[in-house]
Amino acid sequence: MKNRIAMLAVMFCAAPAMAAGTTFLNHFDTTPGAGAGAADFAGGNPANTAVPPFGPGGNVVAAPARFGNALHRFNGIDVGGRVTYEIANNWNVNKGTVEMFINSANILGGGFVGLMGTDTSSGAGDIRMYIYDTGAGRTLGAYQLGAGGPFWEIEQVIPTPLLTNNAWHHVVWAFDTAAGKTATWWDGQLLRNTPDAGTVSPRTALGSTRFHIGENQGGSAGFPGFIDEFRISDIVQYDMNSNLTVPTAPFAIPEPGSLGLLGAAGLCMVRLRR
């Protein structure tokens, strides 16, 4: 029939740019001087629980920054500017990756400085990632510790050529307790991929309710410098047997899931053609 209109439905689907496995992400791109603020994404509570006013150790600055703005941990002690978030639903005790970019005028300095850690006031164990001097060299280390029980730890010397002040460094810790493996990387170079001591401690309950960025164990060993692109995942983001490619763009923010086509394949549009 001449007046029949043939309709052809054409479906176009665009998959969202998902950040697989991300449970917590902060770009620290809030207004400079305003503090770290809420996380860009969090599986649990994204709110920053630091108590204002922010001190010189808890501000966001425009420069130097790896991407956008960055968290400034100026004095290490971070008086009045502690940056803490809820750990519930932001951390998987059995498998995960913690990574960030760091920059400091004291990378070559001595002592112990924290990159992240939990609040251990409850006495139920500890999670921490840190830089330390063992006497044999500057190390990158991390562990999970059960209160009064075993711990899952890794620590390895950072190659001297990679230890540079006033430059951005990508640091990563990954662990998989089922596989019995943990690993650390510095600027893409695999430092170590076997446990250093103790046994796997996949704690099913965390007595600590908060984690701190740029310090360890309830506020000790503050990191004197800048931190950017702080991300926690509940998967192992990189091959634990090889070097990795350092990210050259900000981490993608996970998009919220939804039902049907939106949840399975992203945004879909139907176009009708005559």
pLDDT tens string 24-34:
999 999 888 77
Residue 176 has pLDDT above 50, yes or no: yes
The pLDDT value recorded for residue 67 is 95
pLDDT surpassing 70 at residue 19: no
Domains of the chain as residue ranges with CATH: 1-16+255-274 (no CATH), 20-254 (2.60.120.200)
Interval 95-130: pLDDT, tens = 899 999 999 988 887 788 899 988 765 556 678 899
- pTM listed for this prediction: 0.82
d(CA 177, CA 153): 11
pLDDT of 65: 87
Give the DSSP per-residue string, 188-199.
TEEEE-S--BS-
As a whole number, the mean pLDDT across the chain is 76
Number of C-beta neighbours around residue 85 at 10 A? 25
- Alpha-carbon gap, residue 36 to 39, rounded angstroms: 8
What is the radius of gyration, based on Cα positions, of the chain?
A: 21
pLDDT reading at 170 higher than 80: yes
Range of weakest confidence among 59-63, 116-120, 225-229, 264-268: 264-268
Beta strands 113-118 and 181-186 are: unpaired
- Among 261, 265, 246, 229, which residue's Cα sits nearest to residue 29? 229
